[in-house]
Amino acid sequence: MDRIIRPYQSEDLDDVLASWESASRLAHPFLKEDFLDQERHNIPNMYLPNADTWVVEEAGEVLGFIALMGNEVGAIFVKPDFHGTGAGKALMDKAQELHGDLEVEVFKENAIGQKFYARYGFQYLSEQIFEPTGNVMVRLKFTAEKSL
């Protein structure tokens, strides 16, 4: 199957929300329902209009998405059925192609995300408490290879 990475379109919203919700519940069992409800509202109303968002699609199905604000990875979520298939790496490769060096924040308790970023080559920068939830957020940086 051919996978394509393409810019997000408004008709992708239901698939993007489904990717976010299923992957978020798997990776973030510690998040409270009221926070998730707020995020479900914020994604289409605040985040997507202000981000450069790309989707990974296979056979007409959106498998996941990445939302970028400059070189900051604001979100990357892939439907759990497609974890480990290269869909997330393809999205991150697109971000690197666009911006080179990348930064991201991930919940310290998100073992799935931590493993993904480490495998991709992100390095630890710092951590702080994420006020809306009280959870620890880790800031990571990916440094692109400089060509000579």
pLDDT tens readout for residues 90-142: 999 999 999 999 999 999 999 999 999 999 999 999 999 999 999 999 999 99
pLDDT of 148 reads 52
Burial class (CB in 10 A: 0-12, 13-18, 19+), 60: exposed
What distance in Å separates the CA atoms of residue 7 and residue 144, rounded to the nearest whole number? 22
Alpha carbon distance 36, 21 (integer Å): 8
Q: What is the spatial distance between Cα 125 and Cα 29, in angstroms, rounded to a whole number?
A: 24
CA torsion 114-85-51-105 (nearest 10°) is 0
Q: How far apart are CA 33 and CA 103, in angstroms?
A: 27
Position 147 scores a pLDDT of: 55
Considering the chain, what percentage of its residues have pLDDT values greater than 70? 97
Neighbouring-strand partners of residue 64:
56, 78
Closest residue by Cα to residue 137 from 107, 117, 115 = 107
**Residue 39's pLDDT band (cuts 50, 70, 90):** very high
